Chain A
Amino acid sequence: MANHSLALRHQFDDVEQQKDASTFGMWIFLATEVLFFGGMFCCYTVYRSAYPAAFGHASNHLDLILGAVSTAVLIFSSFTMACAVNSASTGARNALVAFLGITILFAAAFLVIEMSEWRMLYKEGLMPGFNFTYKEFDPGHVQLFFCMYFAMTGLHASHVTIGIGILAIMAFRAWRGAFGPDYFTPIEISGLYWHFVDLVWIFLFPLYYLIARHLQG
């Protein structure tokens, strides 16, 4: 009981209510995030339906293998995050810290892969606003494709970066022994956030790397 009252904030009646409220709040925040990315998905859908051929040409400048690998990497980090929550719930402190560490590592790996893709596109002159020299098929609409690509992957990458920050804090707190089987809501909530970041990429990958490749006509 003493352990509980440490973690229980005054506005709540009991730990159960507090935990419920926190998870519920996080889900609402994630619904917000869906709509936040949703605005960009809407732009993508409109432009993709209007200029399929240009999107096809542009899509072929992305490295499919790199995209697939980064997807796998991010999914793996999501898996280790789930394992981290599991470890937290069983009170396995060392496992928790280790799994968080692996998650952070793979998140960083994802960022490295993504940045190398960006670098490649920059060198090829496919980065609107910085270096865009593409002159072949329908350059205007190809530029739109890359605008949306960089806007969406950029927003996603910023979420990954924030996620790494959050997970680092969680790992530090876990290492200090802040969590136990009866109090690990922050780990669970960070996990939800991290899985959401994974979710977004699960859609970004097919939209940019897969479905337009054969549309060039």
Chain B
Amino acid sequence: MAEHIVTKKQYSYVFGALLLLTFVTTSVGMMDLGRLNVIVALVIAVIKALLVVLFFMHIYWSTKLNKLVVVAGVAWLALLLWLTLTDVLSRGWLPFPGK
């Protein structure tokens, strides 16, 4: 694996983007947009996370194996949330026991 060297200039672009996104998400957070608040905040958080993972953490230039590990970590977290919510959100859908 050839080591990819990222310059400080490239890092500073990423940093600028992160700072901007933090500012945007905070400003949006002060407004009441109803359901949109959650969506905007989470989408921005995911974008920020992607920036950090891809560039600060070099996954963009990394081996497939390392990419796979990242995907696995996120996938397993999704699994935990998804199947737990399967239960929590569907309680009381019918007058069955278990509400």
Contact = CB atoms under 8 A, between A and B. Distances in A.
A and B are interacting partners: yes
A78 B29 contact: no
B65 A82 contact: no
Given A45-B85, A206-B44, A211-B37, A76 B15 contact: yes
B45 A202 contact: yes
Contact of B53 (A45, A46, A199): A199
Contacts of A192: 57
Given A35-B77, A195-B52, A49 B89 contact: yes
Contacts of B32: 213-214
Contacts of B8: 83, 86
B1 A20 contact: yes
B11 A83 contact: yes
A28 interface: yes
Contacts of A12: none
- Sorting the interface of chain B by its residue count into under 10, 10 to 19, 20 to 34 or 35 or more gives 35 or more
Interface string B31-73: 0111001100110110011001101110000110110011011
B66 A24 contact: yes
A89 B63 contact: no
B72 A50 contact: no
A75 B19 contact: yes
Given A49-B85, A78-B52, A195-B56, A86 B19 contact: no
Contacts of A45: 81, 84-85
B93 interface: no
B45 A42 contact: no
Contacts of B76: 31, 34-35, 38
Given A35-B76, A64-B30, A82 B11 contact: yes
A83 B7 CA distance: 8
A17 to B, nearest CB: 10
Contact of A49 (B26, B73, B88): B88
Given A71-B22, A86-B5, A199 B72 contact: no
Contacts, number: 140
Interface string A38-72: 11011001100110000000000000100110011
Given A72-B22, A75-B19, A211 B41 contact: yes
Nearest to B88: A46
B7 A86 contact: yes
B49 A203 contact: yes
Contacts of A196: 57
A41 B5 contact: no
29 contacts: A16-B1, A20-B63, A24-B69, A31-B70, A31-B76, A35-B80, A38-B76, A46-B88, A64-B26, A75-B18, A79-B56, A82-B11, A83-B11, A191-B56, A191-B57, A192-B57, A195-B56, A196-B57, A198-B52, A198-B56, A202-B49, A206-B29, A206-B42, A209-B29, A210-B25, A210-B26, A210-B41, A211-B38, A213-B30
